[in-house]
Amino acid sequence: PAVLGPGAVHVPDWMDRPQQEYLLRACVDWASARPPRSIVLPGGGRMSVRTLCLGRHWTPYRYDDDEVVPPLPDWLVRAARSGLETATAVDPSLGDPGYTPDAALVNLYGRDATMGLHQDRDEASSAPVVSLSLGDACTFRFGTPHHRGRPYTDVRLESGDLVVFGGPSRMAFHGVPRVFDGTAPAWCRDVLGAGPGRVNITLRQTR
């Protein structure tokens, strides 16, 4: 495991293949039940990433309980708690036995999709965010909580990786400048078909 900053822990290959396959199939099922949407930015542009929500609906840039979304399954809540436990063993400052995520955002990346540097500040709770990556590898860019620019650290995230962001890193700027097309394990491509190359699931405690 690698510590990216205080409260930010990267655990490569955290999920085994059956776990990844189960989660990826669930994402494909959620996406087929209701097409993921591209988020419209304040300037009017559209994000290249498509997003679907579980547990609570997120609209830029707030949670909106008027929209019906699939429930956040218990098995995914337990996976998030287990991920936080793993990360806490690396950085004890994360310790949070009461972690109760109530929403997940599933981001689907096409081959050219990117996500610009941003902060996640719509959650009322300062609880950590747990991130799970599947499919194609990407460059994940991790900055500081203070401003959008340098210094930042670029990390390659691969299918099966866990990253937890808590403490002072919870408000860090971060983004995905690049997805590496065709780097997913072959079994991922079998599950995804012609769909997106990379899938990222973030678990959040919003209240």
Nearer to ligand MD3, 173 or 191 (CB): 173
Q: What is the DSSP letter of 136?
A: S
By CB under 6 A, the residues from 54 to 113 that bind ligand MD3 are 105, 107
Residue 19's Cβ-side half-sphere holds a number of Cα atoms within 13 Å equal to 17
Residues 6+ apart with CB under 8 A from 148: 117, 173
170 binds ligand MD3 (CB under 6 A): yes
Query: Between residue 110 and residue 169, which ones bind ligand MD3 under the rule CB under 6 A?
Result: 115, 120, 129, 131, 163, 165, 169
Yes or no: say if 197 and 91 are a contact pair by the CB < 8 Å rule. Answer: no
Q: How far is the CB of 169 from ligand MD3 (least distance, A)?
A: 6
* Site track for Fe ion across 105-144, x = CB under 5 A: ---------------x------------------------
Output the CA angle 32-190-81, nearest 5 degrees: 65
Query: Can you give the binding site for Fe ion, defined by CB under 5 A?
Result: 120
